[in-house]
Every structure is written in structure tokens, then in C-alpha cells.
Structure 1
Amino acid sequence: MDRIELPTGVALDVATAGDREAPAMLFLHGFPESHRTWRHQIDEFARDHFVVAPDQRGFARSDKPQGVEQYAPEKPVGDALALMRHFGRERFTLVGHDWGGAIAWMLALTRPDLVDRLVILNAPHPYIFQQTLIDDPAQRAASQYIRAFRMPGLEQQIEAMGLDRFFDTTFAPHADPALLAGEKANYLDEWSQPGALTAMLNWYRASAITVPAIDEEAVQPDFLNQPFPQTRMLVLVIWGMKDAALLPCQIEGLDRFVPDLALRRIDAGHFIPWEAPDAVNRAIRDWLPA
């Protein structure tokens, strides 16, 4: 791991692998993880790429600036751009899962000149996600955890119950327990870093996505009534169809916003980079240029 100071005001721990002169791939993890999300992808794609996989701001031992506003999506987008500039890369393949996928969508939409190809793993398109939170009762119900994560003081409640119990009762049920067993110590170590719980939850608190209560008559945000930009690069979306939090409605109608779309459905849950690594690696490898 390298410690890299960025002009965005944070220092990130960054895993790199592969030939630094090879085409670059940037891997962005989500909640509540770290670069280890990609432990089965880093070596595979370092065979013919320069792989960059940071611990994003607020996670593991990367910096954790104070204040919810420090986790608004444009902040990690800025980190990602600064990180690739640090390595002298003007274009790269961008890969994102969960919150890392949300940042990848935003980066690809706002800086298409930099993203050669985009790979999304179980991370909803912003327009479709917001629309389904308004008009799809099942998705709204599945997303109520976001409202809970935004509650003030939740981190103190987690600390009171103990990280070990939080892992066993709140996180582990959403993944294959056999695959998680060997990783538990890594998660507990990362979550126990000073300020980590608040920083990780602040990603949810800083998001502009509206999550209505189950029985709430929701008001549709203005941006849903306006033209939404399309992606301008080749896009591969890999979806674990057993994801209990992000339902299959997230990939319905995706081609409206993603003209050059390749879609791969996988029989796995939300954490597909390590729940179904062979299928994920094969899907990406088959889609990348030879």
C-alpha cells in the first residue's frame, strides 16, 4: 500500500499492481469495505493493466475529514481524478461497486473525456434509483436502511453494541458467511479506526438522493422531470440478481441512459466482486479489448 497525498486535501491508502506503463484501471469500493473488495480482481487485471485501488476517503486508514459536507459525491469524484492525475493518466477504465459505483457513474457522466470504459457492479444509475425510490414500493422498502444510516448518533449505537455484534447481526446476513469468515478481522480492524464509523455513514448523510418513508407520499425531485445526460463510453453493468438491497428494477430501462450497454446478470448477492469473483472476472475480461 502507498500513502498518497492528494491536492483535494486528503491522503489515501492506495493499492497498485501491474506495469505502470500499461493501460490503467481504477477500482472504487463501496460501503462498508476497502480496496479489499477487489482482492480477486487486482492480480487478475494487473496481468495486462496498471491497477489502482484506493481506500476511499473515510474508509480504513485513509483520511477522514470532519463534516458531512466532506462526503458529498463531488468530493470522492475529485479524489479519483486527482489520484489518476498523480499517476499521469489522462484516460482509464473505471470500475465501481456499491458507493464506488455511484461515484463511478458521476465521474463518467461529468468527465467522459477521461473515462475510456466504465464497469459498474451492483450500483444503481442515479436517475433510475431515485425514480424507483419514488414509485417502486419494493425498492423503497429495501432502501429504508439508508434512512437508518442517516440517523444522528447511529455510530454511537453501533459502538455501544460492539463492532463484533454489528458485524454478525447487521452485515454478515447480507453475504455468504463462509466467504466472510476469513475477512472478519479485516473489517473489524478497518471499522475500529478513529472516526471511521462516522465517516462511512457520512457518505449516506451527504447524498442528495431522497429516500421516502414506506408510507410517505413522496414528492418527485425536479431532476427527474428534466433531460438526463447519457453516458458516452462503452459500459458494462454486472448485476448480482440476489441483491436484497438493490433490486432487479435497477437494471430495467438502463439502455435509455446508457446507449453502449453490455449487461451481465450473475446468480449472486450484493457483494459480487468477492462472492462471485470468477464470474465477475470472466465478464470483465470478455468485455475488455483483447
Structure 2
Amino acid sequence: MTEFRRLPLSTGVTLNVALDGPADAPPVILLHGFPESHRTWRVVAPLLRDRFRLVMPDQRGFAGSDRPQEVEAYKAETLVADIFALADALSIDRFALVGHDWGGAIAWAAAIKGDPRLTRLAVVNAPHPVVFQKSLVEDEAQRAASQYITAFRTPGFEQAVERMGFDTFFDKSFAGHVDLAIIPAAERAQYIAEWSQPGGLTAMLNWYRASAVMVPPPGLTVPLPDFLLRAFPRIHVPVLVVWGMRDKALLPVQLDGLDTLVDELAIARLDGVGHFAPWEAGVRVAAVLAPFLGHDAGLGGAP
């Protein structure tokens, strides 16, 4: 039975957190992306709950969690700090981390940080920051696919969404990635209810506005950012990358060069699956996550 708690964190926000699985099982924190919530894992969680203690927060700015309105509240280092503060709030000593989309981006950043509490990393359709930024400069197809980021950063974009209506925004958000017919009406209604909360859309968009990623306009020649020209920290924990190969927002170029940034890397390619793999192909995602997450007998700590 899924349990819900509102947990105040040392980082100054209170998160709505779904908990599932035995309290004494190895803990796994699962991070959703845009424009979702802990419900990203609605298909995956029931297939993992018998073996793991699942911790599934609504990240700051989303759904039932606090929604700071300042862009600065969504800097990457703050979002990473939330994850470790969440572990502290639940008295979790060591944990595996799974992230999709923006949740995966923060999971990558947490692993790069090198905190010894993190033992394993699994990301689902979320790019490593080095590979992503490099592709935005050098790969025209990825640059074109990422122009929505510039739109989301535009001042007043939330007012434009309100004018078009949340139903239309729902269709625009998902129709290009997945058959809308597989999304139940109740799920659609829940998404729209969460997005339309006061300050809800601004908080969600501020994840993009606070990001340091540079998205050049199409056709413009730009140099690589300085951080790509320096040595970048390698990730030393085991990493599993799960990739829906039909993703139209994050192209398979995001898999290129990962082996130079990660000591121990496995990649599971899901043919015929799009960006929202955790619920579009949740059974397949769970099937590759379970053995990877269960491999580390050293996981410990429980809420």
C-alpha cells in the first residue's frame, strides 16, 4: 500500500512523497521529470515494491510539493541538495537513485557530486550534461529538437499557456511523444489539476529558466562552452541508462560518448518506445531496473 507523507526538508521546502515497499528493503529514490509528478512511476512501482523501499517525491515546484516562484530556487545544486535532504529526512544512509527526464538530469548531477551515500544510478531518457550541451552545439537535429527549451524560458510563457487552455497544452506536451489514447481520462484530469494550481506552471517552467544549459538558435555557429574543454568529473558508481529509442526530444545521440564519462556503464535500448518510457513501457523499464538495482547487496538504511 502506497503511503504519502509531507516532509519538510533542511533545504527549506516541503515535499509530497509517495512511499512504497517494505520499510526494511534497500531504498531507491525515484525522480520524475517535466511535466509530471511521483505518478511517473505508476506502472514501474508496483513491479518493484516487493524488493525495494521506493521513495517517490513530487520534486519542488511540482504537484503536491512546495512551489517557490523565484527562478533561483531551481538551480541544479539546490535540486541535488533536495535529494540528499530527503534521504536525511527519512534516515536513509545509502540509496540507489533513478531519474527520468529532469529527474534524470538531477540524478546525473547527484552522481557527479560523488557523495558516498549514492550507490547506484539509473537514468531513463535523460542526458548527461556534457553530452547534452555538446550535442546542442554540434548536432543540428538535437538543437532543433530542443528549441522548446527557449520557448519555455520566455517571460510570459505561462500566460500563453493559460490563454490556449490547459487541455490544449496537455495535447501539445504529449501528442508528439505518445499515443494520447493510452493516457486514462483520470490521469489527464490529474495532470491539468496540478498544472493549474496557483503558481504551478511558473514553478515547473523555472526548472528550465534556472538551467545553465545553452540552447543556440538553429543555424548559428557557436563555440563549445569552456566547461566542455576542461576535464569533467567521472562517475564512479555503476550506471544504467535506459533509453526509449523513439524519443523525439532527446535523440539517441545522447548515448554517444557516455563510456568516457562513466566507469561502469550499461545501456538498455528500448526500441519502439518514446520519451515517457516509465509509463509508456513501464513493464520493460521495470524489467531492466530490477536486476540492476538489486545487484548491490550493500544498500542499507530505511525510513
Post-superposition Cα deviations, 1:28-63, rounded to whole Å, max 9, x if no partner, equal 000000000001122222212111000000001210
How does 1:168-207 map onto structure 2 within 5 Å? 168-182=171-185, 183-207=187-211
How far has the Cα of 1:144 moved from its partner? Answer: 0.6
1:262 matched residue in structure 2: 266
**d(CA) in 1 for partners of 2:215 and 2:173?**
20
1:114 matched residue in structure 2: 117
Larger RCO, structure (CA 8 Å, separation 6 or more): 2
1:95 matched residue in structure 2: 98
**Structure 2 length normalisation: TM-score?**
0.93
Residue 237 of structure 2 aligns with an amino acid whose one-letter code is M
1:286 matched residue in structure 2: 291
CA RMSD of aligned residues (A): 1.1
Does the CA-based 8 Å contact 1:239-1:265 persist in structure 2? yes
How does 1:115-130 map onto structure 2 within 5 Å? 115-130=118-133
Post-superposition Cα deviations, 1:64-100, rounded to whole Å, max 9, x if no partner, equal 1121000111111111111111111121010000000
**d(CA) in 2 for partners of 1:185 and 1:88?**
35
1:83 matched residue in structure 2: 86
1:164 matched residue in structure 2: 167
Residue 38 of structure 2 aligns with an amino acid whose one-letter code is H
**Structure 1 length normalisation: TM-score?**
0.97
1:40 paired to 2:63: no
2:27 matched residue in structure 1: 24
How far has the Cα of 1:286 moved from its partner? Answer: 2.9
Residue 66 of structure 2 aligns with an amino acid whose one-letter code is D
1:6 matched residue in structure 2: 9
SS in 2 for 1:127: helix
Percent identity over the alignment? 53
Post-superposition Cα deviations, 1:237-275, rounded to whole Å, max 9, x if no partner, equal 000000001000000121111120010000200000001
How far has the Cα of 1:132 moved from its partner? Answer: 0.5
1:208 paired to 2:212: yes
SS in 2 for 1:174: coil
SS in 2 for 1:51: strand
2:232 matched residue in structure 1: 228
SS in 2 for 1:288: helix
Q: Which runs of 5+ in 2 are unaligned?
A: 296-303
Q: State which drifts further: 12-21 or 279-288.
A: 279-288
2:62 matched residue in structure 1: 59
**d(CA) in 2 for partners of 1:113 and 1:103?**
16
Does the CA-based 8 Å contact 1:149-1:201 persist in structure 2? yes
Does the CA-based 8 Å contact 2:96-2:293 persist in structure 1? no
Residue 196 of structure 1 aligns with an amino acid whose one-letter code is G
Q: Which runs of 5+ in 1 are unaligned?
A: none
Q: State which drifts further: 205-214 or 279-288.
A: 279-288
**d(CA) in 1 for partners of 2:294 and 2:166?**
43
Does the CA-based 8 Å contact 2:58-2:65 persist in structure 1? yes
2:256 matched residue in structure 1: 252
How far has the Cα of 1:150 moved from its partner? Answer: 0.5
